[in-house]
A and B are shown apart, each in its own frame.
Chain A
């Protein structure tokens, strides 16, 4: 095993500035979309009094839970002492902080009163999970920065493991908290389920890892740094396990819902005749986000091809956005059950007249704001890897530490798998 050398990302300036230019333009467009919605008011969005959280929340929640998942690699390296993953810890930490930043920005800019952020930072209602999350998010940011320091600075070395353990617990709390924002809403049938919290944790693992792998493959290949089969194979298999985990929770979620007879309508609607939400569930969440990437990952030939692996990661991300759309918007569109055993014949407020779901269609500014958050996250990452030593020079098989199992079984000279 050789010493891992970290080096700034040195792609040709023209390419680098071109990339930054593209990302910055998306950020600016996102900012303009925000300015427009803020100036005109939310009436220019598809959000209504029935569907109160729209597409920006889909992006924000996706980015926030991905932030937690992106830290996985660092956690596995430090907390579970898997030396193979250690060289990727820095990138993992950086990406995690960047994604959280992007997600939080979208969340804040979608507030009805974004200028009152100070109020949110100074006035707390400690019974609100939302208020706890503000602490979870800011704490996470601080811990990740400390974690990065402990990885990069010699003086930080002794603190690396304790901080890593703290970070791992913290991010689990963070995703649980984010899931609980939805899981504790007894008012809405689709949300009233504690399983949403662990489901968000597993989803975060999958989405965060998919984003991490894409960023890693892109930065490395752009600059011609080698990525060996071993690490790629490990990451790919890990992604497969996480996708299976998401499937498992999706199944349990629907089964627990079905167990309560009062929710048969909801599950039937979602799985069979929820229109766009049914489509998003089967095609987006299940097929694109689950079956297709699994097919690639476990395919004897395709799984060896890097382009296909990258495609699998991309599919997981698309599927992740679709699942967020179903969870966040579909659950709101489904009419609230206020009068069991009755049909609403008429209502001045669209209370699911004749069982009809609420209308919602995203408008362009909402989507642009969400994409702006994605671009911010990528912009922070690109600048980070360019100016600081986040990326290892090589992830080639012979550079990376041997698998820990081999250290135990065969001694450090163990052959590669």
Chain B
């Protein structure tokens, strides 16, 4: 295993470490620099974390579909900018339709209608950061991996581009990089022929920031439909929200214990 793969330990249910938990500021800007890098606003550069990721935290998202607004794509746009997905260019000879099917997408807006009641729901859909990720199970090389803090991602140095993980993901959350990308962000390098998906802005995690690009954008747009946080910390805002509102997982039948929860669907 590469040294940046933190070994995942399924038996990590011990009491949450309070130092790690302190990363979760209640609101943006509150610092709680208990352990090395400290919490900073994402506009401020901070030193990268120096110690290993632990399983004391499990990062997750809660999406309140009642607050997700029809026609708004703030989260999608912010994700595209944050992770350099907006730097993908349609090849001149490709049809728009074909390109739309092929370009990488980490988060998409989905609009649903209940067949029985006609009620319409909007929601963002991204990698659900499954506790038992099928994508990790099937990956022949172990390139798909789950970090100790629950983030599921792809090691782009060992991914052979077999796309088996895409076949196995029940949420169609993964994208294949169909063509070389010229402009890249150093924090999200992208190689033709590899697979990738939402990584909960892992670069922000590792610089100790306390939110994701989609969460920030949704708040800035005035909707606050997405909450990010530590699912293991009873004091975190995501846990408090989850305690108050009914939520569920998409495709609960598969028992994947996803890190992304939805209310109102």
The chain B residue with its CB closest to the CB of A336 is B172
Q: Please state if B178 and A41 are interface contacts (CB–CB under 8 Å).
A: yes
Contact B179 A40 (CB under 8 A): yes
Q: Do A41 and B192 touch across chains, with their CB atoms under 8 A apart?
A: yes
CB closest chain-A residue, reference B91: A43
Q: Which of A79-87, A124-132, A292-300, A391-399 contacts B (4 or more CB under 8 A)?
A: A124-132
Could you tell me the distance between the alpha carbons of A344 and B111 in the complex, rounded to whole angstroms? 6
Give a binary string over B151-195; 1 marks a CB under 8 Å from any A CB, 0 the rest. 000000011111110111111101111111000000000011111
CB atoms of B194 and A112 under 8 A apart? yes
Taking residues whose C-beta sits less than 8 angstroms from the other chain, chain A's interface range is 35 or more
Chain A residue nearest to B171 in the complex (CB): A338
Q: A113-125 interface mask toward B, CB cutoff 8 Å, 1 = contact, 0 = none?
A: 1101101100111
Could you tell me if B193 and A41 are in contact, using CB atoms closer than 8 angstroms? yes
- Closest A residue to B103 by beta carbon equals A49
Question: Chain A contacts of B166 at CB under 8 A?
Answer: 49, 52
Which one, A68-76, A227-235, A347-355, is touching chain B? Answer: A347-355
Complex Cα spacing A332 to B168, Å: 11
Interface residues of A in 327-368 (CB under 8 A from B): 332, 336, 338-339, 341-351, 358-359
Contact B160 A120 (CB under 8 A): yes
A49 touches B172 (CB 8 A): yes
| Docked-complex contact A117 and B160, CB < 8 angstroms | yes
Q: Which has the most chain A C-beta neighbours within 10 Å: B105, B116, B121, B164? A: B164
Residues of B in contact (CB 8 Å), total 62
Instruction: Find B108's partner among A52, A181, A342, A349 (CB 8 Å cutoff).
Output: A349
A7 within 8 A of B: no
> Could you tell me if A50 and B160 are in contact, using CB atoms closer than 8 angstroms?
no
User: In the bound complex, do residue B167 and residue A112 qualify as a contact, i.e. CB atoms below 8 Å apart?
Assistant: no
B101 interfacial by beta-carbon distance below 8 Å: yes
Asked if residues B137 and A127 are in contact (CB atoms below 8 Å), the reply is: yes
B77–chain A nearest beta-carbon distance, Å:
11
Known: A112-B161, A187-B170, A339-B250. A49 touches B141 (CB 8 A): no
B140 touches A345 (CB 8 A): no
Residues of chain A touching chain B, judged by Cβ–Cβ distance below 8 Å, are 40-43, 47-50, 52-53, 111-114, 116-117, 119-120, 123-125, 127-131, 134, 181, 185-188, 332, 336, 338-339, 341-351, 358-359
21 A-B pairs (CB sep. < 8 Å):
A42-B193, A49-B104, A52-B176, A112-B159, A112-B162, A112-B193, A123-B142, A124-B142, A125-B142, A127-B137, A130-B140, A185-B167, A186-B134, A187-B169, A341-B114, A341-B115, A342-B115, A342-B121, A347-B109, A348-B105, A350-B100
